[in-house]
Structure 1
Amino acid sequence: MQHGESTGGGPLIVGIGGTTREGSSSERALRYALGVTSELGARTLVCAATELDLPMYRPEESDRSPGAARLVAALRRADGVIIASPGYHGAVSGMIKNALDYTEDLRTDVRPYLDGRAVGCIAAAAGWQASTSTLAQLRAITHALRGWPTPLGVAMNSALPCFDDAGTPTGQPADQLRAMAHQVVEFAHRRARGPVPLAG
């Protein structure tokens, strides 16, 4: 579900991810990363689980479901984005891809799509092949949407111990999620100072 936006004066980081299965690895990783951005002074808003169970994106229709309208509005305001997908058959899940397709509604904005925003990418799957191929797809999608994938993307092999008994990431996955979250917030602060003017 979508939680309310946290308060404060920092950049707004929007999280998209997870599955409809309660306690999924990808959603736990997403929430952990957003928690780190909050520690760094960012405001956060998470769209996960059933909040992403949206109608199939239809570009020829302008009417949007309430959930789709909320997602588009959140992305329009975002200073940074974190996306977490499970690796389904070696690829981004249909639910996450469909949610990202709604960014087409931002195509005529002053900041079209995810332009000028850092995007942290997380992929979780029961094996390295699916997690790494899904991460590569998330980064490619981010490029196509004019976003800036953070230098560090996180591939998590959920077949290995990644979480403690409370469901919190531990060890190397936790370190990588923290570093990636830091990069998203740092980039957002840099962009807040204003874009670098084009040469010539």
Structure 2
Amino acid sequence: MLVFWKARLVLLAVPKTGTTALEAALLPHADAAILNPPDKKHVTARRWRNQLAPFFENRGTRRMETMAVIREPLDWLGSWYRYRARPEIAGSETSTAGIGFDAFVEGWLSDPEPEFARVGRPSRFVSDGDGKIIVDHLFRYEALDKAVAFLEARLSVRLDLPRRNVSPKAPLALDPALEARLRREAAADFRLWEQLG
């Protein structure tokens, strides 16, 4: 999460959406940053609004706006799956090594999720407790250039994004019946992404 106090803007870091690269490019321009540990770096919109915004939004100043990047849900899940299959975490309870993509998605749809599939939901990341979107500026990961253009204009900077935290490539296929179930049960996530088109 990066805070740009003078520009009254906060970049919320939705996991697996290119925010690590944005953070690397923008860190020199930020007034405050939470980069680690991961559960603090990935501050949700709700946590920002309830816990951190009052610290930065001094009495008499205008509210700080938030922005985030959202990825197509199936692609986002695929990125998580591949990321958790990397050799350095093999054998841990978060590893997907030896687990098929279908099993990962089924795990993500379970309640509670097994540890290897506990990655959150983008729709919840950007919403309040009632499911209302509370992020001011949302951009598609697939059109990251629009987010970059917004940031360049808002912060009066030129950005050159490095490639960071990229998941390993691997072919993924999902059983059609499971994909239909995913689209039903994660309808809020698909709807959110589609609305950004």
Place the TM-score, normalised by the shorter chain, in its bin.
0.3 to 0.5
Higher relative contact order (CA 8 A, sep 6+): 2
After TM superposition, the score normalised by the length of structure 1 is 0.35
Which one has the largest radius of gyration?
2
Q: Between Structure 1 and Structure 2, which shows a larger proportion of strand residues?
A: 1
Q: Between Structure 1 and Structure 2, which shows a larger proportion of helix residues?
A: 2
